[in-house]
Structure formats: C-alpha cells, structure tokens
Amino acid sequence: MKKHVVAYKALSPALLERLREAVDLSCIDITGESGLARLEEALPTAHGLIGSSLKLTPALLDKALQLEAIASISVGYDNYDLDYLAHRGILLSNTPDVLTETVADTAFALILATARRVVELADYVKAGKWQRSIGEPLFGNDVHGKTLGIIGMGRIGSAIARRGRFGFGMPILYNSHSPKPEVDREFSARYCSLDDLLSEADFVCITVPLSEETSGLIGARQLALLKQEAFLINISRGKVVDEAALIEALQAKRFQGAGLDVFEKEPLPSDSPLLNLPQVVATPHIGSATHGTREGMARCAVDNLLAALTGKRPPDLVNPDVWTRRMTDHPK
Ligand code: DGY
C-alpha cells in the first residue's frame, strides 16, 4: 500500500504528479478557511508531511502517530521542535543551497533600497511630488566602498559577502561561531566580535538562523552601538532582533534606516509603528520568493521526502541522529 503524504503548501503540477506516482497524496490549503482543521483531520494517517510557513507544534504532531518524515520547503527550521522530533524518531529535512543566491539578492535589494531611498522616492514620484530637481534633503547614501558587516557567515552570508566585495568594492567584516580562513582569503574579510562589527559597519546584515542562542541577539544595547550613518538589514528571522527596541531606535533616529524582510510576527500587523517610518523598507518575507527558486526548493523537498519514505537517507537531513538511530534499530 502507498504511504500517505500531506502537502500543506501549493506545489506545481509537475511535483504533484511525481508525488502522486509514489504516494497517496492529500493537498491542504492551510491559508484557506478551515485549512488547519482539515490538516488536523489528515494527520492521523500521514506518513509524510511537506510544506512550510506553519509551526508544527508537538500538540499538532501528537495527532500524526504514523509520521515518519517532514520535508520543510525552507532552509530555516525554527518551525519544528527538534527534541520532540528526535523523541518521536521523525526525520526532518530542509532546502539549503538552492535558495542561497536568491536570498543574497534580496539582502542587496534591501541594502540598495534603504541606502538610496528607492521606495520612498518612487512613492514621491507616483504621488506627483516631483516638480523640480530634488534637493539635498532627499539625497541617499552610497553603497559602493562602504563597510559591510555580516552576522552569520554560512552559505547565505558568503553569497552576500561575494556581492559586496566584488560587486560593490565593500570591505567585509563578519561575525560567526569562529573565524573562517577561506572567507578571509576569498573576500579579504575580517572576523570580528559582534560589538566591533556593529560599531564599525555601514551596513549590518543579519543572516543567522533563529535558535535559542540567536533569539534577541540584537537588542537595545547592540542597536546603540550602530553608527549614526548605519543601516540594519534583516533577512533571517524577525525574532533575532528585539523589535520593540528596533522601533524605539528608529523612531529616535539613532541610525539611518532598516531593510526588513522578516518580523517578530508575520504577516506584519497593519498597526506596526515600522510602517510609519520612511527610513524603513519592509518586505513580506520574500527572501527566496522567486518562481525559479521556490520551485527548486519544492523539488528539493520532494526529493528529500521520497528518499525518507523509501528508506533512503534524505540528502538534506536536519536531524542525522534520528537517521543513525533508525539504522541502528532497524538495519537494512
Ligand atoms: C527559508 O527558507 O527559511 C526562508 O526564510 C523562507 O521561509
């Protein structure tokens, strides 16, 4: 009998066909009315789950007693409780690599948009306010040659560093668990403490994954270290920054501006003070949201899920300990 897979994110016809050949597939639109209730109903018979943008809490997964694997269509896996999955022996996979360059493009879109006031000035033109050559109050800031500070130097951090170094001639500073000699060599980058990075960089770009360690990493004290002319760019997770402290610092104009793709609460509430600040460019978590990349991510997740459900090690396994235990308990 075919295994039962529940897809809780829309997939392309090609991927649906691939899944249908291999498994018994239920597709649930969790954004629609009663979507969550329908997901809960489907869970008891599910062997596999594929999707993203939903916190799969232990309470929810307790209903999925047959669950063997979850394929997340995302690189971040903060929506899953790894201890719980380990306890249940459920394999979790993600989609690294395929989105790296697209997310780095998004970081640069935010760097350029904030520094050159692209959104604010495009709105100015649309509002019919462009009556004569603009004056100094509407000038922006240069990006090329400015210092780029990158917090977290994984795949995405490196792709941002490459753009900054070779595209914009920017000196690169970075902070991560430890210095990375290959990064220092390739981008003439300098490893430094978080405090030094915050106080020296013109653009501070956050790329660390959300974890217990990084939650609230950038709070009031850290924001106070930013230079007056600095911009803060966040393309990782909203909770890495203390949003209340960020709003206060921006309202007080302690630094130049912020490009934010992620927020403590998403979608960003319509009464967020961030929306009233002209020096903020806010985008709706679009880091990887291009047609090509989202399809690539979904394809990668399907590969991971089908591998897991046919007894093969998923290529992008987040919790290899679960796999090792499975192989020890049930050797092939
Ligand atoms: C990811 O893949 O983690 C991106 O943030 C999209 O969710």
pLDDT for the residue numbered 33: 83
In the chain, what is the straight-line distance between the N-terminal and C-terminal CA atoms, in Å?
20
Pick the closest to residue 47 from 87, 7, 14, 79 (CA basis): 7
> Could you give the CA distance from residue 194 to residue 218 in angstroms, rounded to a whole number?
10
Distance (angstroms) between ligand 1 centre and the Cα of 9 equals 13
- Ligand 1 near 287 CB (within 6 A): yes
Whether 218 has a pLDDT exceeding 80, the answer reads yes
Q: Is 237 labeled as catalytic in the residue annotation?
A: yes
Pick the closest to residue 297 from 4, 62, 6, 15 (CA basis): 15
For 121-144, what is the mean pLDDT?
Answer: 98
pLDDT for the residue numbered 32: 80
pLDDT in tens, 286-297: 999 999 999 999
Beta-carbon-side half-sphere exposure of residue 54 (alpha carbons within 13 Å): 23
Whether 187 has a pLDDT exceeding 70, the answer reads yes
Q: Is 254 labeled as catalytic in the residue annotation?
A: no
Contact yes or no for 233/240 (Cβ under 8 A): no
User: Which tokens sit at 175?
Assistant: 């902070």
Pick the closest to residue 206 from 147, 285, 260 (CA basis): 260
Pick the closest to residue 102 from 293, 320, 302, 329 (CA basis): 293
Pick the closest to residue 285 from 276, 294, 277 (CA basis): 294
DSSP symbol at 218 = B
The 10 Å Cβ neighbour count of residue 188 is 11
What is the pTM assigned to this prediction?
0.95
Q: Going by CA atoms, what residue is nearest to atom 2 of ligand 1?
A: 74
For 150-162, what is the mean pLDDT?
Answer: 98
Q: Structural domains in the chain?
A: 4-97+291-329 (3.40.50.720), 100-282 (3.40.50.720)
Whether 152 has a pLDDT exceeding 70, the answer reads yes
pLDDT for the residue numbered 305: 98
- Per the DSSP assignment, residues forming a β-bridge with 149 are 173, 204
pLDDT for the residue numbered 329: 87
For 71-92, what is the mean pLDDT?
Answer: 98
Whether 332 has a pLDDT exceeding 70, the answer reads no
pLDDT for the residue numbered 280: 98
pLDDT in tens, 193-207: 999 999 999 999 999
pLDDT in tens, 89-111: 999 999 999 999 999 999 999 99
Whether 5 has a pLDDT exceeding 80, the answer reads yes
Cite the beta strand spans of the chain per DSSP E: 4-7, 24-27, 48-51, 69-72, 91-93, 148-151, 172-175, 190-191, 203-206, 231-234, 257-260, 280-282
pLDDT in tens, 163-176: 999 999 999 999 99
Q: Going by CA atoms, what residue is nearest to atom 4 of ligand 1?
A: 74
Contact yes or no for 48/4 (Cβ under 8 A): yes
> Could you give the CA distance from residue 53 to residue 55 in angstroms, rounded to a whole number?
7
Distance (angstroms) between ligand 1 centre and the Cα of 289 equals 9
Q: Going by CA atoms, what residue is nearest to atom 3 of ligand 1?
A: 76
Catalytic choice (237, 243, 294, 299): 237
pLDDT in tens, 37-65: 999 999 999 999 999 999 999 999 999 99
pLDDT in tens, 227-257: 999 999 999 999 999 999 999 999 999 999 9
- Ligand 1 near 74 CB (within 6 A): yes
- The whole-chain average pLDDT of the chain stands at 97
For 299-303, what is the mean pLDDT?
Answer: 98
Distance (angstroms) between ligand 1 centre and the Cα of 76 equals 5
